[in-house]
Amino acid sequence: MSDMTETALRTFTPQPALAPPKELKGAVHWARANLFDGGLNTVLTLLSLLLIVSVVPGLVRWGLLDAVWQGDSEACRVEGVGACWSFIGANFRILMVGIYPVEEIWRPVLSFLLLLGVIWLTVSRRVRGIRMVAFWLVLPFIAYWLIGGGYLGLPEVDQSRWGGLMLSLLLAAVGIIVSVPLGILLALGRFSDSPVIKISCVSFIETIRGVPLITILFMASVMLPLFLPEGMDVNNLLRIQIGMILFSSAYMAEVVRGGLQAVPRGQTEAAKALGLPYRHIMFYVVIPQALRHVLPPLIGRCIALFKDTSLVLIVGLLDFLGMLKSSTQDSEWLGFEAESYVFGAFVYWLVCYSMSRYGQHLESAGPKNNH
């Protein structure tokens, strides 16, 4: 018996594997499995195709094929042309930096290059940990000094001349960098055993979260001057920046709270058993773990804050959206609203989508739940 098996094994030569059945591979099979799988799916696919065919060619023709890329407004008014992208070209400086003085334009450009540099260093993981945080903390101050000037030999540029995408990015960057630590403090305050601190923090967070940002901005722009002592004047931009920071920090606090609650109790108990004082327990044990847990929603809040900067247009600052809007009222370029807002949507989308993709990347590369 065993001899027979051995000989059988020795003489056995496997046949070459058969190719998979034809109908299980290739484009036709894929289409059948994913697009025409049953009656309902076939109908849905056909409806979707109909929608695509009726919308996409027209959009491509308008936005790319028939679009005007160069020339003045006359070239765009010819019958039958598509999008007038030369409108964006003509207003590009205004859209990016507002009415910033032309001869000083290198300053926002340099700030922007610094921003790109720090982003590159972060995403490529060339700087990490505390050094990365330091880079991000220092960057807005350098950008603020470069753009605003007034110190160390740079001539001052008044804040009423700041605008465009530069202003949006600056509002968002300063907002994020100040509101994250503030949010952490508020979240810790929520867990404080002191009733005074606890109640103040909870009522602050819940009040802010209960009202729209626009009322906070109105408050910052209209009411804040009433609150301050006479003669003390804070300019409009700073007031609105403070409003945005207060608003954002309440939401950051809620995000951080989730992270604090996710840190297992054994961690704090172990730290206590080691005899660490409260601030060390918080700063070396609890907060780092909490922040790692909530990185994705934290990035979500950063995206939301960047989108929210568009609201400052309502209280009279000319941010990117404000500039998009006012550029359509340029007497030479009347009637190109579609181009203006499509371009604006694309820029906002590019920034927000990249941030959210980076957040997803961190989420998949980040710490796994190991408890």
Partner 1 sequence: MLNKLTASAGSSRFRLDLVLQAVFLALIFYLAYSVFHNTQVNLENRGIESGFEFLDKEAGLPIGDALISYTPTDSYGWAFFTAVVNTLYVAFFAIILATVVGVMIGIARVSRNWLVCRMAAIYVETLRNVPLLLTLIFIYVVVLSSLPGARSSWLLTEGILLNIRGFYFPKPLPQDGFGLVLFSVALAVVLCWGFRRWAKRYTERTGQELASFRISLVLLLGLPALTYLLTGQPLLWENPELKGFNYRGGLSLRPEFLALLLGLVLYTAAFIGENVRSGIQSVAKGQIEAAQALGLKPGKVMMRVILPQALRVIIPATTNDYTSLVKNSSLAVAIGYPDMVSVGGTIIGQNGQAIEIIGMWMAVYMAINLLISAFMNWLNARVQMVER
* Cβ-contact 333, 327 below 8 angstroms: yes
Q: What is the DSSP string of 289-352?
A: HHHHHTHHHHHHHHHHHHHHGGGGGGGT--BHHHHHHHHTT-GGGTT-HHHHHHHHHHHHHHHH
Task: State yes or no: residue 169 binds partner 1 (CB under 8 A).
Answer: no
- Using CB under 8 A as the binding rule, whether residue 360 contacts partner 1 is answered as no
Question: Any contact of residue 362 with partner 1 (CB under 8 A)?
Answer: no
- Could you say whether residue 338 binds partner 1 (CB under 8 A)? yes
Neighbour-count burial of 76, counting CB atoms closer than 10 A to its CB (0-12 exposed, 13-18 middle, 19+ buried):
buried
**Which of residues 119, 121, 214, 242 is near partner 1 by CB under 8 A?**
214
Q: Around Cβ 273, how many Cβ atoms within 10 Å?
A: 9
Distance separating alpha carbons of residues 97 and 163, to the nearest angstrom: 5
Judged by CB, which is closer to partner 1: 24, or 44?
44
| 27: contact with partner 1 by CB under 8 A | no
Residue type, 364: S
**Residues in 175-204 that interact with partner 1 by CB under 8 A:** 191-197, 200
CA-to-CA dists, residue 169 to 172, 305, 321, angstroms = 5, 10, 12
Q: Are 366 and 288 in contact (CB under 8 A)?
A: no
- The residue from 10, 265, 368, 371 that contacts partner 1 (CB under 8 A) is 265
Question: Minimum Å distance from CB 147 to partner 1?
Answer: 23
Which one of 240, 253, 281, 287 is in contact with partner 1 (CB under 8 A)?
A: 281
Binding site for partner 1 (CB under 8 A): 34-35, 37, 41, 44-45, 48-49, 51-52, 191-197, 200, 207, 210-215, 218-219, 222-223, 225-230, 260-261, 265, 268-269, 272, 277-278, 281, 286, 303, 307-308, 310-311, 313-314, 321, 324-325, 328, 337-338, 341-342, 344-345, 348-349, 352-353, 356
